[in-house]
Chains A and B, each alone.
Chain A
């Protein structure tokens, strides 16, 4: 008993605890917990719990003692560190040593210690937080004192009894044994674990439920056997064995988890089951994630190349040295040094020695401090991202979290974004919009108007605020006499406004701590008058019938359905009710409006069903844990193995206990009515806490019809109905929602009809399948069929409208049916093995033959700024795919709403039923796409002729304007919609290539009804096959796998808990922040880091090149003219700070510009030095060092885009530091520092005017060519980044204007590029816009002009319009023309209303035939079609050209045009654009390349990538090596002039060349 099962030995051997325990874990699957008080603490020898981890947590990695060895060990996992230690050790070999061995250790020691200090600091912080947590207080029962005593958390052990008070945090995983709650419940808030803010109920272990007295730990003498610690928060299984041999099951409902907060419960007592690191919370806590960024991977490759170059250089030197030695032959020159033994060294041997020496001398080439610098810079970047106020969401008081610290720069390299829909693009705040009851649609127009009003007010408010906050929240004082409309408005709507405004948001956020998912918008629903009438009708009829003792079934079926519909809305959920006066205080009892007696009478009179109700209630209540003596027996029976006997007992009881249960149909009056009076009189005060926002929305919707949920207990639900009053439904079962069933059900006993009813609520597709097929021919069947048909129709329309649809159905069970189901269900519940599966099957059995009641349409509103964000990201060249579990229609409509799909786009919908069909579909689509491309590129309007969509399921939702054989559709405007089933086929190995080929030809891809696994498979497929950087963003548990698979995973810390956030690398409060995160921070991080890395390589390469060059003058002897100190500390100290500052702070572009012009990147560098003749070695070397430093700093100056005082300071600091160090070093010791012994060198130099002259000319001469190049390029052919920088200078307003203008011009150009590169049409509009001339195709190209008559061309013009449209008069005009009826709103349109409208338009464009049946009021779409071309024609031609004239007359715009006009030399900038190879259309060569590659597209999609990548790589390799030869020539040629300066300059020129190549090379390889 007193030990773990199967491990008797453990109890005895107490010494090797840890080891043994680990062993025992493997052997046994359960843990046994006894109460500690049974054992004497003092001599804990026989306490069986002592082997379990105690509650002290320790998340630190090191202890004081283990720090140094352990940290070193970890650091040596990094290859570079090992390398440098190797080099340092090499210095200790006498024949090799180049530097003072001690000094050579300095860099390694420095780097290691910096890293160690960083680790130490982190560990210390962990230690401190550990300590704080360990020292929190809790009450633990003490055996000796016989009472609960305050204890530190760390002193809690497994088996301790803990008393918890309200609002306390749980110190460990505790099994709930007692609760002060009369229902023996305990509420916990799990926000810290999963982020869910609603309360969860936990139940006292069954055997302790009936304890009426306070729990006494001393009387406890049971043994708990449960699972081993695991990290599954939602699973806990075990049983408790009492002394009398009785066993009770333990479920997750009995377990309180560490980290949760006790709410609503005054006191609870439990026994600790898992403690410390074995708690589920801790096991779930995997700490921050480490990913390697792409840049880092590339950098490692470059470091590897550095090593190769290093070896080549060493080899070269060694051979040179050998030859040099060889030329002297036997005649030893007087300056030759023999080996220490005094013998001659053969040239070969000395060459080998030299090789090793050179490795040391040239070690600078491998940037030792690079890694540490990168880490520092990344930490700073993370800090800045964290601190960005723009990424802070006031509503939730959360800001962006970087959970992966080392992939910040990956944000700047994204190519594909995979997004979830619900909760990511949408707010996941469900707003009830419409419903269908019994086939009748209730459109809730008033409600829609109300919602529209919120938005209007919202936008007004925003404007007001932006105007300078002129709309303060005045209190009633001011509003009384001001009486202004605006003020009144703001007053009246204050409480209703969406949580957009700041102050309100704050208030809401405070409230939201107590109420989840209930912004005023969701709460207040204006009822539809028709439906309200019906409900009232129904209520009064029912009331009437009740009084007249009529059967309820006599009510007309319509009303019956209405009635049931609302009951279902109200009770078919898991919403918890609480009263606001005492937050979190559950409303336990309520006063009934109608006297109990009446109801009782009513029930008594309701005899026919009397008996059955009693029997069923008794059997049910035995399940729903009630505290009645008769049921204790039942519950105890439940855990007994024989379900048969349980049922038998139930049968017996049926007859025996009808009387007792009679009153249970309604709840008894509340003994302490105090707290509930308010609740009763004003149910508006009740708060609902729902697990999902949909539920809350439905409950609030029902409440609007006066059908409100007033209380929920474990075994009953109380609702209030109009006229009828309060009714208590006995809750027999709740079959919780799960994603496979996609529905939930409750089984209740209806107090009115005494029927056992199943109410089911779920996804329409599922429910519609489960609905009982209407009977053949009778009128009822007909009616049913009609209802079904109508409902389905409306459901389709809802889907079209982007509403989430839920179907509500019910099923009435006869008592026999119920009994037989119950039997199986009980078996399932008691099963130990495979319980989940059995329960699932049981649920399936229950949820069949449903009777459809109605359906609801809930709107999941788009988050703020989603369309704008998507448009911006798209302009940045990112491909956005949406992967959602929603149904196709809903997804498509949301996609339209967020501008993911354009109405102009053709949509390819893939719905296949089999693998073969899917293959055929994909083939057809591919052909179709190719045919389109061919047609349009040859300007032949035959597209539709070539390909007819003859396959039944392949539909082309062509927009009205391009329907039929209208002509070539602009090719890249394609959207792909694919559903989950087809996706499953398409992801098959045989089809995935085809699928990708199709998908990447489309501008947007929408995967509906996809499972979490499919989501991750899609991401993986794209990532692996296309070799692109992928980002996945989502908010729910279903996105976790996709987030983990993607290169960068982003979690939205939204409504659905924290699982996505836990799995993510970055956690955002809102989707729209993605724009700034990627476009601004991503760009900055990447450009900063890439630049810094390049600069590092440059710096080191330059320095090494100097030394290498010198080898030609010292017989390749490995001597360096630069003092070893400078050589070693140059990297670490003198040149380190400015670049750190630049790497952290440099902004090549301002945030605004980056957001407005989504496009990017930048370039590289060079160097040089000097010499003299009658100076000695180190007097010569010192100025070289100085000059090198100055050159490098000046160079950095050229590369630095933003000069803050910190940049200035750091550069000044570096120079001062160098001179100070040099002076001190040169003055410190006359005899030390062999061999250079640079005593007084610097001081002497400083007295030499020549030195200063050198300092001036050398850096300038060295950098002049680059500067010239930069200047030419910058002013003549600026890269997009440079254009952006120029834009930065322009005042904000004008800038916006210019940016918008540039977009106008980008429009027509798209055609041109599309012609050139038909297969890669998805380039970013701006880049492409830049890539060709301004010449308007309508005027310059007669052929095209002829085509201009075709509406599609015009469409393409209009489509380049993006959110900025409202600021752009020209585009505006188009919109006005097009939008017709919406023109008025359009002008004032706030972004979101614009989005909505557009969506409306789109829907009308899609124009389904059912349109007419819809009760929605819409403009006929025909009008648009007719007016559109005309409107465009007129608005475009004059307007556009005048704009262009205006534009080009400003100095900036022509430059924008020519950005890509002239392709920069030798693939210099293609590597620099944001786009990467895949879509950058700025380099013609690449285009050609792609075109050729593109031919093979259908065979292998990734060949394109390969093709476009390899040449640049190859070039890099060549350029890396080739300059060295030129450089050697120059060096040799330079020996003749009398002054060595010329040599140096020649060398510098060569060096410059080499470095130029080098950095371009690195640059290319980096991107």
Chain B
């Protein structure tokens, strides 16, 4: 309100009512006298504080570290860069449906439940345009988007014949295609270990986010009629898992896992769990064979492929770092407290000396 106006205004008010003072309200808020806590970082508070935090952290750190130590994991690199590797033969372009076999030995029981991961390195699933390249509506089973995939899928939207691709987009197109079978070698005989591929995807992904189209004429395949499979795929989406009809379409567990982009270029994704039958308690000591259907090319961009076996605890997979971090930070706190104590004592006393 312009000033002359407020003057006029006041004059009016004065005229209207009894004289009204401009006295400000005397409240704690307007006078900025709200009760307040004013922490001060003085040595007296900080040193005990640091010590306490340090101790607590060391405690948590120890617990985490011990837990993490109990977790075992085993990594098997099967990229086949080295000529000695059994999978070397599959790295050439000519190899089709190449199978290779990695062998490993467990000396002790690998406690269960054992999680079976595949891992990739130098693989940029977090590439921006890659991550965008999918059609959520299509994947939720909306058939409209079967014929009209969103532009975000480009250039994996339509194939060269202008047929819509389902599932469209780069992520789906580049789906990891290696398959694994794990055998225990018992008395020279290979005994297949069941890899439970169910429930490896997020529950919400499986039940809410993704869903298959309704059957057309009772046929699942017909629901996808008029669409073509992604360029890199060998089988259409409704035939992903020939063994389990329910594990097909968008609700294929491995597909779901793949569709969750990894955060870093070096990542591992769950392939299955070993939790059944003889192996419910874990993998007993002995020799094992990993049979790999090698089809996914990584050498061209300098990546590696591996298989990781790991068991988990309440805090998830093996994660020594967190425990160590807690320990380190905790110790740092203690050290800082000590340092401060020393410096403080020293300065304090010299001050006092001088003053005396």
Contact = CB atoms under 8 A, between A and B. Distances in A.
Interface of A: 59, 94, 98, 125-126, 129, 132-133, 136, 167, 169, 191-193, 259, 261, 281-282, 284-288, 328, 331, 333-342, 357, 383-384, 386-389, 392, 394, 397-399, 401, 403, 510, 1062, 1084, 1110, 1113-1115, 1117-1119, 1121, 1145, 1147, 1151, 1171-1181, 1201-1206, 1230-1232, 1234-1235, 1237, 1239-1240, 1244, 1248-1250, 1253-1254, 1256-1257, 1260-1261, 1264, 1267-1268, 1270-1272, 1274-1276, 1282, 1285-1286, 1288-1289, 1333-1335, 1444-1445, 1448-1449, 1454, 1457-1458, 1535, 1537-1542, 1545
Contacts of A1286: 40, 42
B351 A1285 contact: no
16 contacts: A192-B7, A281-B4, A334-B296, A357-B128, A394-B23, A397-B23, A399-B23, A1113-B126, A1177-B125, A1232-B136, A1253-B322, A1254-B322, A1276-B344, A1289-B38, A1448-B355, A1454-B352
B58 to A, nearest CB: 12
Given A331-B300, A1114-B128, A1535 B266 contact: yes
B126 A389 contact: no
B276 interface: no
Given A328-B301, A403-B3, A1173-B264, A1244 B126 contact: no
Contacts of A1249: 314-315
B39 to A, nearest CB: 7
Interface string B8-51: 11111001000101111110001110111111111110100010
A1235 B267 contact: no
A1274 B40 contact: yes
A125 B1 contact: yes
Contact of A1270 (B41, B44, B267): B41
B263 interface: yes
A1240 B204 contact: yes
B267 A287 contact: no
Given A388-B31, A389-B23, A1173-B268, A1289 B321 contact: no
Most buried by B among A1062, A1274, A1288: A1274
Given A335-B123, A342-B155, A1449-B355, A1274 B42 contact: yes
A1114 B300 CA distance: 18
A1549 to B, nearest CB: 12
A1234 B340 contact: no
A132 B24 contact: no
B155 A398 contact: no
A1201 B136 CA distance: 48
A1147 B3 contact: no
A1256 B239 CA distance: 46
Contact of A1271 (B12, B41, B127, B316): B41
B40 A1285 contact: yes
B262 A337 contact: no
Interface string B258-273: 0011111111111000
A1272 B127 CA distance: 44
A129 B1 contact: yes
User: Interface residues of B toward A: which range?
Assistant: 35 or more
A340 B154 contact: yes
Interface string B119-131: 0000111111111
A1203 to B, nearest CB: 4
Nearest to A1540: B264
Most buried by A among B1, B269, B318: B1
B262 A1230 contact: no
Interface string B191-214: 000000000001011001100000
B231 to A, nearest CB: 10
B347 interface: yes
A285 B263 contact: no
Contacts of A1231: 136-137, 139-140, 142, 209
Given A1181-B263, A1237-B136, A392 B22 contact: yes
B171 to A, nearest CB: 8
Given A1275-B46, A1454-B348, A1333 B208 contact: no
B132 interface: yes
Nearest to B61: A1257
A1289 B42 CA distance: 12
Contacts of B208: 1230, 1239-1240
Given A339-B155, A1448-B355, 10 more contacts: A125-B1, A136-B12, A285-B4, A335-B125, A1117-B129, A1117-B130, A1176-B262, A1180-B263, A1454-B348, A1541-B322
A603 to B, nearest CB: 48
A1445 B36 contact: no
Interface stretch (B94-102, B240-248, B328-336): B328-336
Interface of B: 1-5, 7-12, 15, 19, 21-26, 30-32, 34-44, 46, 50, 53, 57, 60, 64, 117, 123-134, 136-137, 139-140, 142, 150-152, 154-155, 170, 174, 202, 204-205, 208-209, 232, 260-270, 296-298, 300-301, 303, 314-322, 325-326, 329, 332-333, 336, 340, 343-344, 347-348, 351-352, 354-356
A1230 B351 contact: no
A1244 B260 CA distance: 14
Contacts of B139: 1231
A170 to B, nearest CB: 10
A1275 B42 contact: yes
Nearest to B141: A1231
B333 A1257 contact: no
B63 to A, nearest CB: 10
A1206 B12 contact: no
Nearest to B128: A1119
Contact of A1237 (B39, B209, B352): B209
A1541 B319 contact: yes
Given A259-B7, A1272-B340, A1275-B41, A334 B174 contact: yes
A1230 B9 contact: no
A335 B127 contact: yes
Contacts of A328: 301
A331 B303 CA distance: 13
Nearest to B319: A1539
A1537 B326 CA distance: 17
A1234 B151 CA distance: 12
A136 B136 CA distance: 65
A285 B3 contact: yes
Contact of A1248 (B303, B316, B326, B352): B316
B253 to A, nearest CB: 15
B321 A1541 contact: yes
A1192 B236 CA distance: 48
A59 B46 CA distance: 57
Most buried by A among B31, B321, B329, B333: B321
A191 B8 CA distance: 9
Contacts of B15: 167, 169
A284 B128 CA distance: 60
A387 B301 contact: no
Contacts of A259: 4, 7-8, 11
B244 to A, nearest CB: 24
A506 to B, nearest CB: 9
Q: Which 10 A-B pairs have the closest CB atoms?
A: A1448-B355, A333-B301, A1119-B128, A1176-B260, A1275-B43, A1180-B263, A1271-B46, A285-B4, A387-B30, A340-B154
A335 B40 contact: no
Contact of B38 (A336, A387, A1173, A1202): A1202
Contacts of A1253: 60, 64, 315, 322, 326
Most buried by A among B263, B321, B325: B263
B4 A284 contact: yes
Contacts of A386: 24
A1176 B329 contact: no
A1271 B43 contact: yes
A212 to B, nearest CB: 33
A1260 B329 contact: yes
Nearest to A338: B155
